[in-house]
Amino acid sequence: MPATSREWHLVARPHGVPALADFALREIEVPEPGPGQILVRNLYLSVDPYMRGRMNDVKSYVPPFQLDRPMDGGAVGRVVASNAEGIAVGDHVLHGLGWREYALVGAAHAVKIDPAPAPLSTYLGVLGMPGLTAYAGLLRVAEFAEGDTVFVSGAAGAVGSQVGQIAKLKGAARVIGSAGSDEKVKLLVEEYGFDAAFNYKSGPVAEQLGQAAPDGIDVYFDNVGGDHLEAAISALNLHGRAALCGMIAQYNATEPPPGPRNLALAIGKRLTLRGFLVSDHHDLRPQFIEEVGGWIREGRLRYYETFVEGIENNVDAFLGMLRGDNIGKMVVTLPE
């Protein structure tokens, strides 16, 4: 049993872009697991865009992080002590107490995972929450149909990269993605199989989307909001559908963001703009694991991960993810 563990606490509410001074890495004593609990040595920690919203003290779909308390998020680790039936020392589990080296987890809130079919880190990305978000958001929320033209913003990220590939595998007529660098644009086309992609920093989004989709789009998967959402509303065809997953463009905004100026187009076009949370779609998980897992084994669906090593670099990884430094899923690794 380890004596101490390090964990990250939020110590100030960020205003705009978070700063390192808003966080503190603290050392705590490691408790013994009580009845129904397990102690997990975390090996992989997730950093995700939604965590920025939890740093604000506002009412939302998930409670905000508490000041001077440990933060949390997706994590994969190895069980080092167990006082719970069905989970043994040495098992690997997926759970929600990240941002720390050791986690005391209620067994009911941990899921045993098998490291044989895929690397453990993938249960935080392509086979985890981001993957299910892409799968449910495209197929159920956006009601994708074979022959659709699909536009994905933030397409080189953990969610967007899968949305585009799933659309192609399901028979999309054309898939277009936006990303924040020429390197990522090249990745989208050459590695992920997008039909077209553009760097949103190179010119107006609406103009570049119009060139990439001259006949309009049927589905928009929104990870960005802002000018991307406005451009998509203009480009959507009659009865077009948008799955509103995230709006990273405004997460660090210090002023209320302007709404899309062309929202009235949704009336005449009879558009569907639908927000969603992945937590509402866990019933799809078995189907998702079977189908996406099969595509990965067959080499038909590709994924990338960006690794940052060390608990001391957890905040840097989070801030880098907000800047778009990652390709695919951003994961913090903790050496055993």
Same domain, 149 and 238: yes
The total of other beta-carbon atoms located within 10 Å of residue 215's CB is 10
168 sits in which H/E element? helix 160-169
pLDDT band at 259 (very low <50, low <70, confident <90, very high): confident
CA distance 265 to 268: 6
Give a yes or no: residue 293 inside a domain: no
Same domain, 85 and 133: no
Same domain, 192 and 261: yes
Total domains present in the chain: 2
DSSP state, 66? P
Same domain, 250 and 310: no
Q: Taking a C-beta distance cutoff of 8 angstroms, is the pair 179, 156 a contact? A: yes
CA 204 to chain centre: 25
Q: What are the distances in angstroms from CA 258 to CA 7, 298, 334? A: 37, 44, 40
Q: Residues 57-93: pLDDT tens digits?
A: 988 888 999 999 999 999 999 999 999 999 999 999 9
Q: Which of 173, 165, 270, 163 is nearest to 213 (CA)?
A: 173
Same domain, 92 and 158: no
Q: Angle, to 10 degrees, between the axis of helix 205-212 and the axis of helix 226-235?
A: 40
Average pLDDT, the chain: 95
Contacts of 191 (CB under 8 A, 6+ apart): 302, 304
Q: Taking a C-beta distance cutoff of 8 angstroms, is the pair 185, 154 a contact? A: no
Q: What are the distances in angstroms from CA 279 to CA 63, 161, 273? A: 14, 20, 19
Same domain, 222 and 180: yes
pTM: 0.89
Q: Residues 17-28: pLDDT tens digits?
A: 999 999 999 999
> Can you tell me whether residue 101 is helix, strand or coil?
coil
* pLDDT of 313 above 90: yes
pLDDT value at residue 251: 66
Backbone angles phi, psi at 311, to 5 degrees: -60, -30
Residues spanned by the domain of 145: 129-279
Backbone angles phi, psi at 8, to 5 degrees: -90, 135
Same domain, 16 and 30: yes
